[in-house]
Every structure is written in C-alpha cells, then in structure tokens.
Chains A and B, each alone.
Chain A
Amino acid sequence: MGSLFRSEEMSLCQLFLQSEAAYACVSELGELGVVQFRDLNPDVNAFQRKFVNEVRRCAEMERKLRFLEKEIKKDEIPTLDAGDNPDAPAPREMIDLEATFEKLENEMKEVNANAEALKRNFLELTELKHILRKTQNFFEEEEHSIVDDAQHALGVDDSRPIASQAQPLQLGFVAGVILRERIPAFERMLWRVCRGNVFLKQAEIESPLEDPVTGDQVNKSVFIIFFQGDQLKSRVKKICEGFRATLYPCPETPAERREMAIGVMTRIEDLNTVLGQTQDHRHRVLVAAAKNITVWFIKVRKIKAIYHTLNLFNLDVTSKCLIAECWAPVVELDKIQLGLRRGTERSGSSVPSVLNRMETSEEPPTYFKTNKFTSAFQAIINAYGMANYREVNPAPYAIITFPFLFSVMFGDAGHGLIMFLFGLWMVVREKQLLTVKDAGEIWDTFFGGRYIILLMGLFSIYSGLLYNDAFSKSFNIFGSSWRVTDDFPIYGPNKSTIISHIQLSPNSTAFQGDVYPFGLDPVWQLSGNKIAYTNSYKMKLSIILGVSQMLFGVILSTFNHRYFKNTLNLFCEFLPQVLFLLCMFGYLVMLVFYKWIYFSAIERNSNCAPSLLIGLINMFLFTYPKAPCSSHTFYPGQQAVQTLLVVMAVLCLPWMLLVKPFILRWQAQRKIGDRARQLSVNSGDLVIEDGDVIHHDAIVARIDKDKEEFQFGEVMIHSAIHTIEYCLGTISHTASYLRLWALSLAHAQLSEVLWTMLFRIGLSMNGYHGSIIIAGVFFAWACCTIGILLLMEGLSAFLHTLRLHWVEFQSKFYTGAGYAFQAFSFAQIMEFKTDD
C-alpha cells in the first residue's frame, strides 16, 4: 500500500563497470529487471557503436535459429518448452554456440540440397512414368491409332486432298509434362506460331506432384505434340521451353516403351529407399535440434539484449571501464549493488564495479511496484495517463471505489453471483490458465482483469441485496412489513391471479410501521409505484456518492500540494475549490439527508415536503415562492443561509481565477530584482577572473530562462481555463453521476422485461408439455441473461465506471503527465519476443 500511494522514489545512478566485468554485470541486472538505462550516445549511429559486431553476430545466430525452427516446423516435430530460464552465457560460450549453429545449419543445408536433388530426380521419373502410361493410352486405346489421327488432321490442314496421301507423312513428336493452368495459353501459342500445323493431345495426371523446390503440390498434365519437319520441331521446342514444360524422350514402338517403363519403375523404387533414408537422417538431426532450440533462442536473445544495452554506455578515456547511467528505485539499490558484486565475481575481475548516485534536476520516471492483484487496477489508471513522479496515485482507492460504483449500476445479486463465480474460477485456476498461450485477445482481457471481475461480482451481490433484486425477483427473508389486505382490489376471481398492481402508500393501513431491516422491502417488487419509489432513492444516492467521491478527490489534491511544498496552491486552489463544491452540492447532500430524516409519511405530510431540485434552482435565483407547498422552505432562516452560501460560492470564482497569477507575478518580479542586484555585484569580478565569465553567462542564461518561464498572460490564461473547467466541471460532473441511477434503472428494467417476456411464458404452461417448454424457455432466458445482461450490460457499466473515475474523480487532483519506468529486464524481453 505504501508503495502504491505514491510512485517509487527513483534515483539517477552512474555505474562504472570494468570492461571485462561489464557483460556479467549487465547480465545480472537484466535478471533483476529493476534498472532503466539511459542512452548516453544518442547521436551515434546504430552501426557506429562499440558492440555492433557482437549484435550482428547475434542477429546472424538468430537467423540460423529461425532457419532451423522453420525446418522443424515443416517436419511438424514438437519443440520442447520446459519453461526453464538459462542464464545469459558467458561471452566465450558465444563462439561455441556459433559453431554449433553453423554446423547444424550446414548439415541441414546439405541434407536439404540432397533431398532436393533426389526429389527432382524422383519427380522426373514419375513424370516419365506418367508420360509412358498416358502415351501408351494415346497410341493404343483409340480405334485407329493417334498417329493416323494426327496425319489426318494435319493432312487436312495442309489443304491437300486426303486421297492424294498415298503414303503416311513422316511425323515427328515430342512428349512432355506441363503445369495444368498453363495449357490453354500453351495451346493457343502453339497454334499461332505453327499456324495450326501441329497436333496436340493432352491428358491430366490425376495425382498432384510435389514441387522439389517449394514443396508445394502442383497439378500437371501430360501432352504429346505431332508435327512435321525440323523447323517446326525447333519452334515447338522453344515454346515448350518458354512455358517451362519438361520434355522427355519417348520411344516410338510399344515394345521399347514397355521396356522403358519397367526400367523407370525399378529406378523409382530405388530412389524411394534412398529418399526414405535421407528423410530419416533429416528427421534425426531436427529432433536433436528441437530439444534445445527454445533454450538456444533464449540464450541468443539474452546475449543480444546485453550487447544492445552495452551499446548505450560511454567508454571512459582510458577505455578500461564503461560508464552507464540508469534510473533505479531507491529501495532496490542494495539488490543492484549485490547483483553488481555477483557479476564482478563471476567475471573474475579484481576491481569492483561502482554505483554512484547522482543529483539531477530531471524528472524521474514513474514506477509502481504492483502485484498480480493491484496490477490490473494500476493498468486502468495508467491507461488514462502515467502519473507524474511521486504524485498521489488513484489506484489504491480505485480498488474499492471501482467495483463499488460498478455495482451501483449493476445491482443484481443473481447476475453478480454469476460474475463472482466466473472471477473466482479464473482466480482459483490461475496457475493452469496462465500457461495457456495465444488464447485470443478477448480472453487475455478478461483474464488480465480477473481480480476486478471478482470484486465487481462480489460488490454487485451486495448492492443487489440492498436493492433486493436477483434476476428481477426479491427475497423475503425477514418478512415484509406490509400487509396487503382485502381492501385492495388486486385479486382476480380465483384469488391467485393479480389483476392489477397495487399502489403502496405508507399512509394506508397496509404498512405495519416497522422498517424492513436490510435493503428494500420485497413488497415493492409487486407494487405499481415501485419505479417512482426506487428512482427517488437511487437518484439521491447517486448525488451523495458523486459528491463524496469528488470531495475526496479534491481533498487528495492537498496531499500533492503538501508533498510538493506548494502552499500557494493549497490556499489559492484547494481552499476555494473545496468551498465552491461544499457551498453548492455539499449543501444539497445535506438537504437530502435532512429530507430523509425530517419528513415521514405519518408524522409530517411528506406529500408536501419541499422539492430538492426546485429548491436548488430557487436558491440560485434568490426566489422563495409560497404557492405550491413543495416549494416551501425546509427550515426557518433558510433564505439567509442560502444567500450566504451562493455569495460564498460566487466569491470563490475570483479567488481561484486571480489570486494565484498575481502572487506569481509579484514573486517573479522580486526575483528579477534580486538577480539584477546580484549581477551588478558579479560583473565587478568579471574583469579579474576568466572563470567568472562562465559563471556570469550561466546567470544571464538563467535569468533569460526565468523571463521565458514567467509570462503573465500565459499564467492568466492557464488559470482562467482551470477555473472555468473546475466550476463548470463541478456542475456537470455532479449531473454526470446521475448515470449511476440511470444505468441501474435500465439494468433492473431489462432484467424484468426478460423475466416477464420469456421465463413467465414457460412458468404459465400447464401439463406435461409445460415441462418441456420450460426447459426450452429457460435456455433462451439463460442465454439472454448471459449475453445481454451480463456481457453487454456489464461492459457498459464497466465503461461508465471507468469514465467516472477518469473524468469525474481524477480531474480533481491527478495530472498524469509522467513517463513510465521501462526496466531492462530479460523476462520482459522474452515475453515480448514470444508475442511476436
């Protein structure tokens, strides 16, 4: 809690590391993950830094590892992820690693090259096999052989009478294999180039073949082209080459073809065994690599991270040691010292590393130490803006107020219970669920906010009980204090059906006089004036909650003013702000309580109780009419009190607007006067000593800076904006809290609609079929409850709560203009890498 109230105290430290110990020290710090290094050479290019060669070697190793990983994935070998976290290896181990990866990569490449050659060979043979088989069909199966066919076709094309073909022309042919999608263009081109003087016959190869280079499955077709003469032959060949068709020799006689086919078959079988062996070898190599690859990746990444960090360091003049600057939380300094000592020992260096705290005027980063419970709440606050260094942090209050305001809008014990159970399940099974990776963004969001969900559920049960509302039904635990007797014309003929809603009035005899001990009396669930009753209650409640939260926010701002020693703000901001709020809405809240306590139906006529809203409006208009009894005053002397309050509130405006800028101006003028006097004294020394010239320059620069800093107009505008924002904000934010009532009403009504429109249908069925229908109706009702009421309504209530915190609450005290502490931590680097 102490650490969450304000961000950690940070200190800028200087590290002097012996160059041989630097690596080990940084490695230790990376494991600790509590320092943020600053770049000391921001204007040096990435490739001109000292350890760029090592970084490059790491990149090369990563490339090799990625190559191996790709191969492992291709073979679908499971990689072993034992979840262990090896230390960053010593620099000399890097050479071993490099050698190992080099060897593995070369081996893989060799195996791949072999496999590719073999596969290409295999592909060629398979294609040849298909050609032989298909051409066999072409030649044999058709009634008159294909050669005749071709001669016939080409003969006609030659525009010679068929009869004159006494002897068949000598036709040549080529056979080959081509990608199936290329056939149409291929055919067209053949026709165009050879002017129709070729005869093409093609058949598809049914089974897809494997491309040896990419490993994809491709569909191919066998073709055979008949032509006449050598010129055409060369053209056809050129076209085939152009379309990447592979041509194969194909003997002309069936006997030769058969012989060749047999030869091809035996060669394919031989190849298959060789291929199998190559695959086995490849598999063995990869399985061995898969065991270690995760560890290797972690090691290489750690080395790379260390060298990247070392690149941020400065080299001192003697280049014996490296100088680093870093931000570190003060409480962790001992740990860091210890880590440095360990690192120095490990590297065997005799000179210890030195950690030196530095004075700085720079704004340190904001660092909150969170645990798994608080981190989600802190994340909600950070999403609005990172807190300024050591500013009051709203997160610890949000832990309670966030689920509470949510529950005011989501007040339903039944829905709350479901939400609570879901949250509980996630919390209890946390360890198992944490190991599940890549479950999707939505799941990650829910799981990340599991403690919020748990608390929201719990608080919803509480407010649901207060509202006495569970799935739009009420519990009658203590016995209602109303007796609805026969006087009420509410029962139908058979006394079991309610024909109209009762209008409950505490004036009637139905009210027994005692108050239901906890929450709302269940009888209101049945009454016709239920909404009028709860509205009045919830509206007032919203205003009370809102004003208290805002008041709390304004009070928190004093902690900031006092911590940063800003007395001026305390008197010129906080005091008028709190007065303004109290005079207007603090008074309203008081009236609410007064009205609740003072008026009751029995003793004083509550029908004639003064209206709060009209009363508030009249207070600002200074009118106090007598006409309707609801605009009477609450108490005697109200007019004087209210006039005083309004005058006070109005006086707060110039107080907020003017006092601070004028005081600031007065202070600035006095400072300049002082400086000028100082300067005139110093300029006397100027002539004597050279060193003072610099001193003098520094002063002038500082005065210039002061002049730049204080510009009255700017301060005035800033103050005006601030004042307007606060005053308008107070009014609009109070009104904004009414969303608590509005959403709560919407939720209750929606849940009631769902019950009456769906579930009651099932309940009103009689007989056996009723039991079946009720099951179906229950299903629909449950789905709608989960989908609409829990998910959608829950989300909307969540967003409204978020807004109430970010805007209404935090605007009172929170600046949120800091920057986050980004520690150099191996754990984070690994997580980020696995996310990629």
Chain B
Amino acid sequence: MESLTFNIDNGYLEGLVRGFKCGILKRDDYTNLVQCETLEDLKLHLQSTDYSNFLANEPSPLQVSTIDDKLKEKMVIEFQHMRNHAVEPLSTFLDYITYSYMIDNIILLITGTLHQRSISELITKCHPLGSFEQMEAIHVASTPAELYNAVLVDTPLAPYFIDCISEQDLDEMNIEIIRNTLYKAYIEDFYKFCEETGGATADVMCEALSFEADRRAFIITINSFGTELTKDDRAKLYPRCGRLHPDGLAALARADDYEQVRAVSEYYAEYKLLFEGSGTNPGEKTLEDKFFEYEVKLMVNGFMQQFHYGVFYAYVKLKEQECRNIIWIAECVAQQHRTKIDSYIPIF
C-alpha cells in the first residue's frame, strides 16, 4: 500500500535525494584528495566532483574555514530545498532532523556565553540547519528555568526541556546534563514518531535511532568516568529506545571503568565488534571513528529500501560525514600533517 501511494507526495523528493546521494564522494575521489599538496589542489579536485564550482568564487588563498562554510552552505541549500517541497508527514520528519542541530546550537551558545564570548562571534559557529528566531537572545537566560521560559518555550524543543528545569544554575556540568537530557528526549520522541509512521520508515529509522541511542549511552558512560556525575544521574541520561534497553542500560549504569563498558558490549554482537577493533594506539581506530564507520554502514543500507523517509535522514548523516572527511583532509593538508590523513571514513 505504501509503495502505491508514497510517490504521490514524496516521489519527487525521494528521487532528488537519491540523485544527491549519487554525488557523494567515492573512494577514488578520496584517494585523489589525499594526494593533494595544497588546498588549491583540493579545490581543483573537488571541481571535478559533484561539488563542481562551489569554491570558484572564493579568492585565494583558501582557508579551511571557508571550505567548511561552503560545504555546510551547499548541504543546507539542498536540505532547505527538500524541506520547502515536503508535505506532511515528511515535513515533520525533516523538522525532526533539524532538532538535533538546534540542540547543539543551544548548548554551544550557552557554553559560549558562560565563557564570556560575544554572541555575534558564537552565532557564526552555529550550524545553519539548527538556527531559530530566538537563538540570538539566548544570553538573557542565566538559569535553566529562565532559558525555558524566555527562549525555548516557543521552539519545538520546549517539550524536551521540561525535565531540565529543575537544574539550579548553568555551569559546565549542568550544561552537559541539559544537552544529554535534551538528546534523550529528542531521540525517544523521534523514535516514537517513526514507529507511528510505520512501514519501511519504521524499519530503517528505528534501527538508525536505536544505534544513535546506544552510541550516546556508551559515550555518556565512558565520558562520565572521573567526573562528579553520580551513577543515578547518569542512568537518567540514557535514551531508552535502543538495543541496550533495558538490560544493557542497567549494566552500563553500574559500570565503573572502560573494561566494564566493554564487558557490556560483549553481549551485543554488533557493538562487540566495534569495541574489539578500537584502541588509542597509533594504527588503531578510536571508538568514535568505529561508531562513525558503523553509522555510515547503517545509513548506506538505508538506501537499499524504497518508499521510506529514512533516506533523507541517511543522506543528511552521510553528507555530514562527508563534510567531516573533507575538512579532516583539508586540515591535514593545510597543516602539512600527512601521517594521519588516511583516517577519514570512506562512504562508498
């Protein structure tokens, strides 16, 4: 039934996003990019890809930050185009994708104001996908309650924030807690939305979001070691929609060091592999990269099915990874630091 009616509303956009997907850089492109001597070479090579002349109007010498801005700009233009042509429920789905950027922006701004940075400087660092009207006035707030009442109450993030109001004031620790609480609520809500949508969307998205939830749980646990976060508080931050829920999360809540976290992962075949292949020694990939790699695999698989919204999420995630890759290579090229240039994550 889905395949019968899906294209009425979403056929154009799905076609579009699949077309965009074909423009994602291939392994060959990366091998070429890695050989670049200067950023000018990089620009020249990117010209022969789908990016064509997105840097053509930038005067030399090129900065990595310009490349970053332009990459983001291209992605945002593509996303906004899709968002503008979307109808319900795809439009809501696309909005959900932007919420994670909003959360990041809010946290960035609060942290920035905490460190006495000027708001205009911070705004430039925000991701354009997650900008909202009240964003720039965020420094009015000095407590979570104020933040909620003054700024967030009008944004779609408001329902996620309810759990954080009780925090007393905004310090580093609390900001992290707010971030993770927001993410938890966001992922769970998004998960619910996808489940309600049903069909192939639910199949693909629930898998992607479960992974996202589990990744957050692992990372939160690992990062919490050696901080004053209590185990109870920590357990509250775990998103409860992944594979780890409920047993794995309970085990994670009790974990005291990295080895115990690894022990938890032993019970889950796919995570076990990730933990086994990771390490901090040279030549080994970090756990973070391993997670990214796994995410890329999931997202590429998302394109295997048709007639579902997961492709849009997958495309945004893949594009984000591609931006990270290009920036990584560009940084390595710019700083003449070639030993680590190969640790990008190829997509196709």
Evaluate contact between A192 and B150: CB separation under 8 angstroms: yes
- Cα distance, A241 to B122, chains bound together (Å): 13
Interface flags, B113-138, vs A, CB<8A=1, else 0:
00000010000000000000111111
- Cα distance, A188 to B137, chains bound together (Å): 12
Interface flags, A227-259, vs B, CB<8A=1, else 0:
000000001001101111000000000000000
Tell me which of B41, B48, B134 contacts A189 (CB under 8 A): B134
- Cα distance, A182 to B136, chains bound together (Å): 12
Q: Does B44 sit within 8 A of A, measured CB to CB?
A: yes
Q: Does B59 sit within 8 A of A, measured CB to CB?
A: yes
Interface of A is mostly: helix
Identify which of A47, A192, A238 gathers the most chain B CB atoms within 10 Å of its CB. Answer: A47
Q: Chain B: which residue is nearest A45 at the CB level? A: B32
- Cα distance, A238 to B137, chains bound together (Å): 7
Evaluate contact between A185 and B44: CB separation under 8 angstroms: no
Evaluate contact between B140 and A235: CB separation under 8 angstroms: yes
Evaluate contact between A52 and B150: CB separation under 8 angstroms: no
Evaluate contact between B56 and A241: CB separation under 8 angstroms: no
| A residues near B140, Cβ cutoff 8 Å | 189, 193, 235, 238-239, 242
| B residues near A182, Cβ cutoff 8 Å | 133
| Contact residues of B between 213 and 236, Cβ < 8 Å to A | none
Interface flags, A49-67, vs B, CB<8A=1, else 0:
0001000100110110011
Evaluate contact between A56 and B133: CB separation under 8 angstroms: no
Tell me which of B36, B135, B149 contacts A192 (CB under 8 A): B149
- Cα distance, A158 to B194, chains bound together (Å): 48
- Cα distance, A189 to B152, chains bound together (Å): 10
A495 CB to closest chain B CB (Å) equals 65
- Cα distance, A48 to B33, chains bound together (Å): 12
Q: Does A156 sit within 8 A of B, measured CB to CB?
A: no
Q: Does B151 sit within 8 A of A, measured CB to CB?
A: yes
Evaluate contact between A193 and B150: CB separation under 8 angstroms: yes
Given the interface contacts A46-B44, A47-B36, A242-B119, does A185 sit within 8 Å of B56 by beta carbon?
no
Given the interface contacts A59-B56, A192-B153, does A47 sit within 8 Å of B137 by beta carbon?
no
- Cα distance, A243 to B140, chains bound together (Å): 12
Q: Does B262 sit within 8 A of A, measured CB to CB?
A: no
A181 CB to closest chain B CB (Å) equals 9
- Cα distance, A242 to B138, chains bound together (Å): 7
Evaluate contact between A189 and B60: CB separation under 8 angstroms: no
| A residues near B137, Cβ cutoff 8 Å | 189, 238-239, 241-243
Interface flags, B147-164, vs A, CB<8A=1, else 0:
001110110000000000
Tell me which of A47, A52, A66, A239 contacts B57 (CB under 8 A): A66
| Contact residues of A between 310 and 344, Cβ < 8 Å to B | none
Evaluate contact between A185 and B154: CB separation under 8 angstroms: yes
Identify which of A46, A52, A241, A242 gathers the most chain B CB atoms within 10 Å of its CB. Answer: A242
| B residues near A238, Cβ cutoff 8 Å | 137, 139-140
Interface flags, B31-67, vs A, CB<8A=1, else 0:
0100111001100110010000000111110000000
- Cα distance, A46 to B48, chains bound together (Å): 9
Q: Chain B: which residue is nearest A243 at the CB level? A: B137
Q: Chain A: which residue is nearest B120 at the CB level? A: A241
- Cα distance, A244 to B40, chains bound together (Å): 36
Q: Chain A: which residue is nearest B136 at the CB level? A: A242
Evaluate contact between A241 and B119: CB separation under 8 angstroms: yes
Interface flags, A185-201, vs B, CB<8A=1, else 0:
10011001100000000
Evaluate contact between A63 and B138: CB separation under 8 angstroms: no
Q: Chain B: which residue is nearest A66 at the CB level? A: B57
- Report the number of A-B residue pairs with Cβ-Cβ less than 8 Å: 65
B58 CB to closest chain A CB (Å) equals 8
- Cα distance, A274 to B154, chains bound together (Å): 45
B114 CB to closest chain A CB (Å) equals 15
- Cα distance, A48 to B149, chains bound together (Å): 58
| B residues near A239, Cβ cutoff 8 Å | 137, 140
- Cα distance, A480 to B119, chains bound together (Å): 97
B230 CB to closest chain A CB (Å) equals 33
Evaluate contact between B119 and A47: CB separation under 8 angstroms: no
- Cα distance, A47 to B119, chains bound together (Å): 41
Evaluate contact between B136 and A67: CB separation under 8 angstroms: no
| A residues near B56, Cβ cutoff 8 Å | 59, 62-63, 66
Evaluate contact between A52 and B44: CB separation under 8 angstroms: yes
- Cα distance, A238 to B40, chains bound together (Å): 42
Evaluate contact between A189 and B150: CB separation under 8 angstroms: yes
Evaluate contact between A56 and B45: CB separation under 8 angstroms: no
A415 CB to closest chain B CB (Å) equals 40
Given the interface contacts A59-B56, A242-B140, does A185 sit within 8 Å of B134 by beta carbon?
yes
- Cα distance, A192 to B151, chains bound together (Å): 9
Tell me which of B45, B59, B150 contacts A47 (CB under 8 A): B45
B314 CB to closest chain A CB (Å) equals 30
| A residues near B60, Cβ cutoff 8 Å | 60
A200 CB to closest chain B CB (Å) equals 15
| A residues near B149, Cβ cutoff 8 Å | 192-193
| Contact residues of B between 299 and 325, Cβ < 8 Å to A | none
- Cα distance, A132 to B140, chains bound together (Å): 28
| B residues near A52, Cβ cutoff 8 Å | 44
Evaluate contact between B41 and A47: CB separation under 8 angstroms: yes
B326 CB to closest chain A CB (Å) equals 15
Q: Chain A: which residue is nearest B56 at the CB level? A: A63
| B residues near A63, Cβ cutoff 8 Å | 56-59
Evaluate contact between A243 and B136: CB separation under 8 angstroms: yes
| B residues near A47, Cβ cutoff 8 Å | 36-37, 40-41, 44-45
| Contact residues of B between 63 and 113, Cβ < 8 Å to A | none
| Contact residues of A between 55 and 102, Cβ < 8 Å to B | 56, 59-60, 62-63, 66-67
- Cα distance, A235 to B140, chains bound together (Å): 6
| A residues near B58, Cβ cutoff 8 Å | 63
Evaluate contact between B35 and A244: CB separation under 8 angstroms: no
A180 CB to closest chain B CB (Å) equals 13
Evaluate contact between A188 and B57: CB separation under 8 angstroms: no
A107 CB to closest chain B CB (Å) equals 15
| Contact residues of B between 172 and 198, Cβ < 8 Å to A | none
A312 CB to closest chain B CB (Å) equals 15
| B residues near A189, Cβ cutoff 8 Å | 134, 137, 140, 150-151, 154
A500 CB to closest chain B CB (Å) equals 55
| A residues near B119, Cβ cutoff 8 Å | 241-242
Evaluate contact between B133 and A67: CB separation under 8 angstroms: no
| A residues near B35, Cβ cutoff 8 Å | 45, 48
B66 CB to closest chain A CB (Å) equals 14
| Contact residues of A between 780 and 822, Cβ < 8 Å to B | none
Q: Chain B: which residue is nearest A237 at the CB level? A: B140
Interface flags, A206-240, vs B, CB<8A=1, else 0:
00000000000000000000000000000100110
Q: Chain B: which residue is nearest A184 at the CB level? A: B133
Q: Chain A: which residue is nearest B60 at the CB level? A: A60
A400 CB to closest chain B CB (Å) equals 44
| B residues near A235, Cβ cutoff 8 Å | 140
A24 CB to closest chain B CB (Å) equals 26
Tell me which of B136, B150, B153 contacts A244 (CB under 8 A): B136
Q: Chain B: which residue is nearest A191 at the CB level? A: B150
| A residues near B153, Cβ cutoff 8 Å | 192
| B residues near A244, Cβ cutoff 8 Å | 136
| Contact residues of A between 118 and 135, Cβ < 8 Å to B | none
- Cα distance, A235 to B44, chains bound together (Å): 49
Tell me which of B45, B133, B146, B150 contacts A45 (CB under 8 A): B45
| B residues near A188, Cβ cutoff 8 Å | 154
Selected A-B contacts with CB under 8 Å, 17 pairs: A46-B48, A47-B37, A47-B44, A56-B40, A60-B59, A189-B151, A189-B154, A192-B153, A193-B149, A235-B140, A239-B140, A241-B137, A242-B119, A242-B134, A242-B135, A242-B136, A243-B137
Q: A45-B35, A239-B137 are in contact. List 14 more A-B contacts (CB 8 A).
A: A45-B32, A47-B36, A47-B45, A48-B35, A52-B44, A59-B56, A189-B137, A189-B150, A193-B140, A235-B140, A241-B137, A242-B136, A242-B140, A243-B136
Which residues of A pack against B, CB within 8 Å? Answer: 45-48, 52, 56, 59-60, 62-63, 66-67, 182, 185, 188-189, 192-193, 235, 238-239, 241-244
3 interchain residue pairs of minimum CB distance: A242-B137, A47-B41, A242-B136
